[in-house]
Structure formats: structure tokens, C-alpha cells
Structure 1
Amino acid sequence: MAGYQYDDVAGDQKFRVEGSGGIEDAGTTYHDVDVFGHEEGHQIVYKTMSWQFVAVLMIAEIVSNGMLSLPQSLAVVGIVPGLILIIFLGVFATYTSYLLVQFKLRHPEVHSMGDAGFILAGPVGREVLAFGTVVFAICATGGQLLAGQIALSALSNDKLCAMLYAGIFAIPTLLFSFPRTLDQLSWLSIPSVISILVAGIVGMIGAGLHPAPDRTLSVVRSSSFQEAFFSITNPVFAYAGHFLFFILISEMRHPQEAMKAAYILQGFATTFYAVFAVVMYVYLGPGVASPAFSSLDPVWAKAAYGIAIPNFLIAGSIYAHTAAKLLFTRIFRKSRHLYSHTVTGWTTWGLLVLLMNASSFVLAIAVPIFTYLIGITASLFASWYTYGIAGAFWLHDKYHDGQGVRTWRKQWPKAGLAIATFVAGGFICVSGTYVTIKAIVDAYGSGSIGQPFSC
């Protein structure tokens, strides 16, 4: 299968077809090949975002309530292993981001992981990776609804049923999901990023002013495999936003600048994660809860949760929006309903957005093991999207655009790293699924699992 060698000539995005017979100038522009095509005269224009706004969207999506579980990971494995893991995974995620961006630039027709799966493994690959993207996005939206539920419960001293708080939070999440383009959501992501940053700072200040009494800290802590790996999944999946990268890059004005956004994302996330996790663990000790704000003094917990609410809202909206966008683009690809204000287009879009949000809400309140379900879907899919599959992308392109296995041998250090990346994704997938299922069994055995639709 031919790929595309990306060129940026005088600001014009051009490609050269590259195959086993060498490189031939095709005179092909990015807009001739990508999913949205030439947008002149279109009523709805998608490719409008700058790399700065994409960076903001990425941060709003990834640096959300996932960071609130990191202090508990340090409590399980100790400060040094936990901190090393957070930094290592940040570097690893930067490397896999680079591989994903390069793959997207060489295959402009890729709009989602489903399209990438078709290139790797045909129709089966497309359906499996598209299904995983939608399922994980729905679960991630539900996770944000639960975060909003916890925040509202903390602010009101649990005056209402928790299910009602989730319902209240689901309404603005649904409304913010409706814009047809990510550019409209990117503006909302600015206060979202500010809110999670300020909430984290407020949380650290509150922990410092009201530390846990008689706390003991561990530089390194010995734990069982299940306990350790289950806690390690927190930092692993705190970086689990790569499954939306193709969709985000597809709506960029200049996709060749996507790595700038990825560098900003990973630099911010890794630094913030490390500082937040260490500070919260040092002051709150081994009893720190997940989410960590729940271990703060009540006044500071309310302040932190209240400030973080915009981030929970927008992050949930981004997940629901992109899940709907994947299906909408799949249905109307190369159709006027994709880029025109038609009744069919808007009706379908509205129904898809409603379906994604409704599914996440029902799962969040009706499935007693929903938090574990998020862990299972993250293990099955996000482990590949964020880590493993990036190696497969590199191996695929080098094999088909070069001289097959000979190209791998010539570039054996990169090939070895790509293979190791793929193996790492498989290890995270299998181990994460195992320890999560084991945790579900243990939770049922202890009677800690509640009932559906309960407060």
C-alpha cells in the first residue's frame, strides 16, 4: 500500500507518492486526499484550528480527573517508583504521539483509529478500532459525569441523591457537545484548562495547610503484583488521549504543526502530574483517596471541586463530541450532509450526540461496576491507542513504503523500539484487564458493589 511523503513547499501542503519503486512526484495536495477535502464554498468548515488551540483541546481532554488518582498510586508503590513511572510514561507518550502524527501526515484520509485500522488490517481492523474508540469515549464521558457528581455532592454536602447530581451534570455536558466543529469547542477548552490548573494548585495549597496527622511516607513500597499494577494503571491511563488525536488533527488548518501541540500537551501533563502527585501524597499520606480532592479539608475540597467543574464538563463534552463525529463522518463521508446545513445532516448529528451522552449517563448510573468498566475498556483499547499501536504504524509504513523487512533491518534501532512499543501495549492490555477483573471479583466478594440506579 502506497503512503505519502509529506512536503511543505512554500506553505503549500504537497505529497509525493512513495512505494517500492521509488518516489514519484504526484503533485497531490493534502486537501485532495484528506477526509474533509477542499472546503471552498462549504457551509460548515472543519479545518480551522491552529496548533495552539489543538494543544488546549488536548490538555482539556487528557489533564482532567485522571490526575486525581495519581497521588494514590504513589501511596501504593512509593514516591520514587511512582515519580519515575509518571515521567517515563510522559516521555513514552511523547514518542508515540510523534509516531501517530507521522502516520496521519502520510495517510491524510485517516480521520479516526477506525480508518487507521483499515490500513493495518482491512475491514476487521477498521471495525475493531472504531468500536473501541466509541466505547472508550462513551466510558470516558461517563467518568466525567461521575467526577461532576462527586464535585456537586461535595459542594452541597450530599443533600440530593447522587444519581440526581449525575443527571444535573449530564445536561450541560450534552449541550456543550452539540457544536459541529471542534474549533467551537476549542474556545470552551481555554477556561477548562485554566480551571483544572487552578483547582490543582488550590488542592495542593489546601493539602499543605491541612496535612494528614501522623502520616508516614514511603520512598519505595513493596506490594503484590495485583495491587501494584492496579495502581500503576492510574498513571498509564492518565495519558490515554491518543485515541482522539487523528480526529483532532483532521480539523487543523496546518496539520504539519500537530507535533507542536503534542509537545505542549506532554510537557504540561508530565510536569503537572509529577508535581501534583508528589505534593498531595507528601501532605495527605498513604490514606490519600482517589479522587485526591476528597482527602482535603472540607472547605478546601469544596473549593477545589468547584473550580474543577468546568474542566469536567468540557472534557466530557469533547469525548461525546468526538465519538459522535467518528460515526457522523463514517456515515456521510464525501456527502454534502457532512459540510452543508441539511435537515438530514443536523438531525443525524443531533441524534448521535444525544445517543453518546445518553449511553454514558445510563452506564454511569446503571452499572454498579462502572469505574471498573472504565479500567477494562482502557486496558483493552487505550493501552493500544496510546502506546502499542503506534509501533505497528511505524512498522507498516516502513515495510510498505520501503523494501519490506530489509528496511526494518537497515533501521534496526527504530524497528526494535517500534516492536518494543507494540509489545508494551500488549503487556499493558493483558495485565490491566487481568487485575481489573480480579478487582471486580474481590469487590463483589467483599460486598462493596452497590445496586443499579442507587444513591
Structure 2
Amino acid sequence: MAEQREKQSWEQDVFNEETPDSDIRYKTLSWQFVALLMISEIVSNGMLSLPSALAVIGIVPAVIIIVFLGIFALFTAKVLIDFKLNHPSVHSMGDAGYIIGGPVVREILSLGTVIFAIFATVIVVAFQSYVHLIDPSLWQQGGQLITGQQALATLSNNGLCNVILVLIFAVATFLSSLPRTLGNLSWLGLFSTSLIVLAGIVGMAGAGSSPVEGRVVSVTINSSFFDAFLAVTNPVFSYAGHFMFFILISEMRHPQDAMKAAWWLQGFSTVFYTIFAVVMYIYIGNSVASPAFLSLPPRWAKAAFAIALGNFLIATHTLLGWSIWIFLCLAGTAIAFVLAVALPIFSYLVGITASLFASWYTYGLAGFFWIHDTRHQKALFKRPIGLTLAVFTILAGAFICVAGTYVSIQLIIDAYEEGIVGSPFTC
């Protein structure tokens, strides 16, 4: 009986005690706003690296990969959403890890979420397993600070030291992290989505109006495994961010509508990624930079970065609660700032953390979630197609993890051998 009561308690909705007169209400989101939040955070600066993938492996294989990964991400999104609906208490990857593997897996996935959040872009920080608080707005740290610095450098004609530019953007990121519920960010999600779409359109217009003379556009390119996989990681991690689904669904008024939001997210991102990558590549060619806006003429680059800059930014109601909240926001941003300016190989470390964690959060873990719930329904071998897809998902996550880590480590070695690693805290 004790085990049954514990299971029933564990399976309660994470916000089951919320009432209309609660100081902070979480379950306020419609699926439309969830879709906007997903798009605004996932379809962000990751798209700016996609044209460079076409320059390495060619337009045809790159487009096939972008579309395939979009469909694959939709499948894994459905698995994660189903898992959340089956286990309403899940509010983070750590919670999900506890269900499938106990306390050890919970701590690994929770810690991995924090590490990846500090290093990567468009990621949710999940501190819940440690302090029972969630910061659903710290989605843009580490690598996002670097992109923000690049935008500010372009807008200022490199008029300030890069360290100062990163600091400026870090302060803005901290301030945008303070809203304590996703409901407070809903309208910002709409604004942010509009900005990144408009920035992409401006970028494509700039490339189309000033095409690079003598550019080379290749249908396919023979590349080594090292170069090809490095290029493929751009679209692979452009879809990263699935573990924010648990937090988003927890704050939905009707969690059963979450799949509608996922359809909009993956449909929009796949189409927009494909169009943006192809247009930028066709007009710029194999010399396209990453981020792609750096390949535009100065006035167009400034316009696109200026518009996108806004997108790059986006317990209890007591003094103690707010103090802890602000401390967590400040700590996450401060750590990201220090790493971004103190580690000359920071961008390479982002690749390693993405390979180690995003490969599982976005792809591989979905297979384990499906197998866990289907096995408990005693239907594992009655659904051979689903089982095959689940195993493939796990293997895909493992391959991306291992190969991506290898490529990132090799890049660090090559960078040191070629003497292109700078010094910390330098402009």
C-alpha cells in the first residue's frame, strides 16, 4: 500500500495544488503560445550556421538532412510528449530520468541539463532536482552570448572590446531571465518569433540583392567524414531543445494539446531552415560564413543582426523566494559570461557539450522513454515497428554523441597545433 501511495503521489501533476488565488499561477499557457515559445527559442541563432553546411556537403544532401532531421525531431517530440502525459509529475529531464533509471539517472540528466544550458543556445536550465525551483527563462546562455557579441560587434563596427560586448549582452540576458513563469514570457515569444523570421527575411533579401560575384554553388561535394559530420552537426543541433517540452507542457492549461504545438514547431522550423539555408547559399556560395549574416554586405549585416538581437535575448512569492530566484538567474548568466570570455576554446566546448547531451535529450532518450512505457503496458513486442524506431533512435543518439565528441576534440587539437587559440579575456 505504501508503494502504491508513493506511485500515486509521484504521478500527480507537478502543479496539482495550484488554485485560482495562488500568488504565482503556472498553468496558463495555450498550445498556440507554447508553439510560439518553442519556435522563438529553438528557431534562433542555430539557423545562421545552416548555410555553411551546404557549403561543405552540397545543397542536395544538406537539404535532405535538414528535412529528415525535422521529421525525426517531430517523432521524438511525440514520444517525449506522450511520456509527459503518462507521467504528469515530470517537469524536467531529471524527473524523467528518475522514472526510467532511478536517482542516479535523475542526477546525471539534471546535471547534464545545467551544464548544457550554460554552454549552449536555446536550452532550458532545469535546477529543480537540486533546489526544487525551475528557471524556465534561462534558455540562452554561453554560446548565445557569443552570438550576441558578434551582433553587437557588427553593429558597432568593432568599436568596443569583445569582452565588453559580451558583458553588455550578458547583463541584458540576465534581465530578460527574471520573469518567473512562462506565462509572463508568452507575448515576448510572439515578439521574438516575429524578430527571427524578419531577420531571416532581411538576411535573404540582403544576399539576393548583393550576390557574391564568381560564387560557387555545388549540388554535392565529396567531403571527408570529419568535415561532413562537422557540417551535419549544424542541422542536428539546430533542432535541439526538446527537453524544454516537459516544462512547457507543465504550464499548459490543456497538456493534451501539446502535440499541436510540436507540429507547428517542427513544420515551421523545417520549412524555414530549408528556405533560409538554400537562399543564403545560392546567393553567397561556398564562401558563406557561420553565422551567415557575417557574409552579407555591412549595411545588410547590421540590419539583420539588429533585428535578430531581440530574439537572442528572450516557488513562492516571498522575499526569500525572489532572492533565490534572482541569485539563480545571476549565477547562470555570470558563469556563462566567465566561460565565454575566459576560455579561448569555448566554442569548441559548446560542441562537446552539445554532442554529449543534446544528442540524447533531442534524440536518443526518446527511445528509452518509449521502451519504458510500452514495456510496462506489456506491449513491447506487440509493436515491432515502434520498437524498431525506438532502437534506431537510441542508436542515432549514441552515434551523434560519440562522433560529435570525437570531432569536437579533434578540432581543439587542430586549433592548438595551428596556433589559432587566443588568450583569455582579450579583445
Same fold (TM over 0.5): yes
Residue 82 (structure 1) aligns with: 62
- Within the alignment, does 1:446 sit opposite 2:418 as a pair? yes
- Within the alignment, does 1:56 sit opposite 2:32 as a pair? no
- Which is strand-richer, 1 or 2? 1
Matched residue SS, 2:142: helix
Residue 349 (structure 1) aligns with: 325
C-alpha separation in 1, matches of 2:54 and 2:367:
29
Give the superposition deviation at 1:430. 0.4
C-alpha separation in 2, matches of 1:367 and 1:34:
41
Give the superposition deviation at 1:410. 1.1
Residue 391 (structure 1) aligns with: 367
C-alpha separation in 2, matches of 1:120 and 1:169:
38
Matched residue SS, 2:71: helix
C-alpha separation in 2, matches of 1:200 and 1:92:
24
Correspondences of 1:153-302 after superposition (within 5 Å): 153-302=153-302
Q: Deviations over 1:115-138 (max 9, x none)?
A: 001111111100010011111111
- Which among 406, 409, 420 is matched to residue 434 of structure 1? 406
Correspondences of 1:320-331 after superposition (within 5 Å): none
Residue 13 (structure 2) aligns with: 34
Q: Is the 8 A contact 1:368 1:451 kept in 2?
A: yes
Gaps of at least 5 residues in structure 2 are 121-140
C-alpha separation in 2, matches of 1:449 and 1:98:
42
Q: Deviations over 1:305-352 (max 9, x none)?
A: 1110000111xxxxxxxxxxxxxxxxxxxxxxx2x3222211111111
Residue 128 (structure 1) aligns with: 108
Matched residue SS, 1:242: coil
Q: Aligned AA for 1:415?
A: L
Matched residue SS, 1:348: helix
Computed over aligned residues only, the root mean square deviation of the Cα atoms, in angstroms, reads: 1.5
Q: Aligned AA for 1:94?
A: L
Gaps of at least 5 residues in structure 1 are 1-16, 18-25, 315-337
C-alpha separation in 2, matches of 1:341 and 1:284:
52
C-alpha separation in 2, matches of 1:270 and 1:158:
33
Give the superposition deviation at 1:205. 0.7
Q: Aligned AA for 2:15?
A: F
Q: Is the 8 A contact 2:293 2:305 kept in 1?
A: yes
Q: Aligned AA for 1:115?
A: D
Q: Is the 8 A contact 1:31 1:38 kept in 2?
A: no
Give the superposition deviation at 1:38. 2.4
Residue 303 (structure 1) aligns with: 303
C-alpha separation in 2, matches of 1:162 and 1:243:
32
> How many residue pairs were aligned?
401
Q: Is the 8 A contact 1:241 1:386 kept in 2?
A: yes
Correspondences of 1:413-424 after superposition (within 5 Å): 413-424=385-396
Residue 90 (structure 2) aligns with: 110
C-alpha separation in 2, matches of 1:351 and 1:89:
37
Matched residue SS, 1:217: coil
Residue 133 (structure 2) aligns with: none
Give the superposition deviation at 1:32. 7.7
Residue 373 (structure 1) aligns with: 349
State TM-score, norm by structure 1. Answer: 0.86
Correspondences of 1:311-322 after superposition (within 5 Å): 311-314=311-314
Q: Aligned AA for 1:144?
A: Q
Give the superposition deviation at 1:145. 1.1
C-alpha separation in 2, matches of 1:31 and 1:201:
46
Q: Aligned AA for 1:353?
A: C
